């Protein structure tokens, strides 16, 4: 799964990585992004662009937005059939911009936080879905999103059995293409065009408190060496 992540790259690097123009809004860095917060995402409406979305998908048919904090992840295996996600899977896919994400191991009260990145430490895109929800009065709107998850790659299975889908750059266009609404064509992208090699670093419990969102969250524990994990 994915319940916290990091985005610290400059807008200049994000523009280059995703081939998008600079947005009209300011995108604040955060080393501890949590559910219900604003995230930076790439969507395509004619051309690819950066937008801000609420993390926690609210289905278009929901009576209210109170459940937004629950649907932060969407299982790749059931996207085409689950009512909350199937419409967005066909028509509203996105890339959620990140530099890394957190996962935890160990028993309650003694959990160890891990910061997971690409070996290059560069920015990447989580495969995501987004949705537009409108209140009954049609005056209130919310654009929200969920991060798609899959089985963990071999090098991360000792941390968690699930992980976010991180698409390779070569798959970005196909994933964002609004003309592609065929689940049988979309599913292979999630299965075959993903990063599978990662670097993980043990970090302090500072990240456990969502109010801590500075660079101290990703500082390695003293004496800890980064571990590179490749598929078996």
pLDDT digit string, tens, across residues 107-137: 988 999 999 999 999 999 999 999 999 988 7
Q: How far apart are CA 128 and CA 144, in angstroms?
A: 10
What is the reported pLDDT for 224?
56
Count CA atoms within 13 Å of residue 187 on its CB side.
11
Total domains present in the chain: 1
Q: What local confidence, expressed as pLDDT, does residue 228 receive?
A: 45
Tell me which long-range contacts 131-135 makes (C-beta under 8 A, separation of at least 24): 131/57, 131/58, 131/59, 131/60, 131/87, 131/88, 131/92, 132/60, 132/92, 133/58, 133/59, 133/60, 133/62, 133/65, 134/60, 135/64, 135/65
Residue pointed to by tokens 């690409």? 118
Q: Using 70 as the pLDDT threshold, list the residues of the chain that sit under it.
A: 46, 68, 223-232
Long-range (24+ apart) CB contacts under 8 A made by 217-225 are 217/6, 217/31, 217/32, 217/115, 218/6, 218/31, 218/100, 218/115
What does the pLDDT read at residue 223?
A: 62
CATH number at residue 221: 3.90.1680.10
Task: Residue 106: give the domain boundaries.
Answer: 5-229
Query: Token pair for residue 176?
Result: 């964002």
Q: Mind listing the pLDDT tens digit for each residue in 68-100?
A: 678 999 999 999 999 999 999 999 999 999 999
Q: For residue 130, give the nearest of 115, 109, 145, 113 by alpha carbon.
A: 145
- Adjacent-strand bridge partners of 226: none
- Please say whether the beta carbons of 67 and 41 come within 8 A: no
Annotated catalytic sites, by residue? 2, 103
């Amino acid at each position: 799964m994915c319940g916290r992540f990091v985005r610290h790259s400059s807008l200049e690097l994000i523009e280059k990585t995703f081939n998008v123009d600079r947005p009209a809004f300011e995108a604040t860095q955060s080393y501890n992004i949590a559910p219900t917060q604003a995230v930076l995402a790439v969507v395509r409406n004619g051309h690819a662009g950066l937008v801000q979305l609420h993390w926690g998908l609210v289905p278009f048919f929901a009576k209210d937005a109170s459940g937004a904090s629950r649907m932060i992840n969407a299982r790749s295996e059931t996207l085409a059939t689950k009512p909350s996600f199937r419409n967005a899977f066909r028509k509203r896919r996105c890339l959620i911009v990140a530099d890394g994400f957190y996962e935890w191991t160990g028993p309650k009260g003694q959990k160890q936080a891990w910061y997971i990145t690409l070996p290059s430490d560069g920015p990447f895109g989580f495969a995501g879905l987004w949705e537009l929800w409108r209140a009954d009065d049609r005056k209130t709107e919310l654009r929200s999103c969920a991060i798609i998850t899959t089985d963990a790659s071999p090098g991360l299975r000792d941390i968690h059995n699930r992980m976010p889908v991180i698409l390779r750059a070569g798959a970005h266009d196909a994933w964002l293409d609004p003309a592609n609404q065929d689940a049988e064509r979309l599913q292979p992208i999630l299965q075959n065009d993903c990063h599978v090699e990662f670097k993980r670093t043990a970090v302090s419990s500072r990240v456990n408190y969502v109010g801590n969102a500075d660079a101290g969250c990703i500082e390695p524990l003293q004496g800890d060496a980064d571990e590179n994990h490749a598929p078996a």
